Structure 1
């Protein structure tokens, strides 16, 4: 995996942020870079992570990432902690990036000092159904094309070498062009690659919601979820927010904002440019710095 490091210009970082992109994204996506720029403005150091097979890191490893890819993420958290030294280490996940970090922290709660999730799926099955609604067809086609291109760029895809880690390359080659939906992609690519019996098992076991409802320990967390999100149903975040849990969590559930959008007419007047959710996340993490 490839990590891009961004440092504030005039002083040492007040803290470090590990910033993780969403589905079909990378460290170079405009929303990731915009948020990183706001963190730099406030003195944070930023590590923008490319998940397995994403962005410029495609040729560094075979396979693709998943909502629960702890064997990839936990070593990153260990390395980030070593490099952060005595400074706070925070995580910010956009969309699926938040799910990825949540699943890692459910296994290792001390991996980060705090975590912010923006528009992050907590129940993968409900998300796969909602993104298949007719109103989302254009966006789903766009993401599926991106994921298929990412898969075809896999060094294993065009190689005759023996596939590893439960990925049958010949089956993938035969079926990749038949994929039409996110659920199809997860059934053909993600679930077998990560050792799940089928896509239903993957969606059940890689969804962090039930573990959190069961009281699993986590570091302080901040959830930003628009109630009108067209891809990620807000029911999961609403249920978690209303549950009587020992979780140290703050929920920001505005009526509008879409999926990782949260833009307003004032955004273009800001320096540096940022969205409403960007500013909420940075403000919350500044408070965690004391």
Structure 2
């Protein structure tokens, strides 16, 4: 049996290793996707992503299931875990959309936040995806939080299930962990991306609610949210944002079957912060904890669903069996 301190170290290695490996250039078989979402404050926003099609979904009646992937904080459709998940889903027969939330494509049109589900709703409603009879949504980290939030609100009836992998459910204590001294390497990696996204937003829109020079000096996630997300979306303060956006308290209101998969030794989303909420979620949420892996990255785990190993393949096999 592996003792706990070693598992904790492995949690860090499983988090960092695949990310670094993803920096090696590789061919992307996907094609560009462009969509649209209307925002009540700023008007029309262009959404972007990458799609993997087996054939034309509008002309091929055999195409039936679309897998929609959502990235985490500071990520995009090009994140390593998004590309790996798309490969697994495609090999299992799914067509796949890797969605970049607004601004994550560095277009600068707007900013996304942890409770903003409009982009997911708009992507699913895109005419390009009207032929699909079934849709599965899978979100990683913050993307899983957004997916669960949308499942509480009520998704398109074609969405049969939602999968959240390594996702926070209670934002304020989760951010406190990320802002801790021992998580500086992860925090700075995320903030580097967020500062760049805000710079593009300030340049493109001219709506920068906080001067760019101030945001570029940010060194904590809470500080970034306070200076950018709060004024952009009209929250009273950062705690108001976290309280109104957190999905944990409303998990009992899930409208469709959902699956949550987390690592006991996730260095960014501690199990102790997630478990109290998911344990009270009710019958529409199945929860699986893996005593291995890191943040959104896992070894070739077997969760007991189907022959294909790996957290994405196993999760999709579970969904297919429902």
Match 1:2 to one of 27, 32, 48:
48
Instruction: Tell me which residue corresponds to 2:23.
Output: none
CA RMSD of aligned residues (A): 2.5
- For the Cα contact (< 8 Å) 1:262–1:275, is it kept in 2? no
Count of matched residue positions in the alignment of Structure 1 and Structure 2: 266
Instruction: Tell me which residue corresponds to 1:269.
Output: none
Q: Unaligned 5+ residue runs, structure 1?
A: 267-273
Instruction: Please report the TM-score for the alignment, with normalisation by the length of structure 2.
Output: 0.75
Instruction: Tell me which residue corresponds to 1:115.
Output: 162
Instruction: Tell me which residue corresponds to 1:279.
Output: 313
Match 2:144 to one of 98, 120, 123:
98
Instruction: Tell me which residue corresponds to 1:151.
Output: 198
Q: Unaligned 5+ residue runs, structure 2?
A: 1-46, 303-307
More strand by share: 2
Segments of 4+ moved more than 4 angstroms: 9-12
* 1:180 counterpart = 2:216: no
Q: How much has 1:144 moved relative to structure 2? A: 0.5
Q: Give runs of aligned pairs for residues 1-290 of structure 1, distance below 5 A.
A: 1-8=47-54, 12-55=62-105, 58-59=106-107, 62-79=109-126, 83-85=129-131, 87-110=133-156, 112-154=159-201, 157-158=202-203, 161=206, 163=207, 168=209, 171-212=210-251, 215-243=252-280, 245=282, 247-263=283-299, 276-288=310-322
Q: How much has 1:72 moved relative to structure 2? A: 3.0
Q: How much has 1:282 moved relative to structure 2? A: 2.1
- For the Cα contact (< 8 Å) 1:132–1:140, is it kept in 2? yes
CA distance in 1 between counterparts of 2:266 and 2:315 reads 18
CA distance in 2 between counterparts of 1:204 and 1:138 reads 26
Instruction: Please report the TM-score for the alignment, with normalisation by the length of structure 1.
Output: 0.83
Q: How much has 1:131 moved relative to structure 2? A: 1.1
> Per-residue CA shift, 1:231-269, capped at 9, x if unaligned?
112134422443272x32211111222211112599xxx
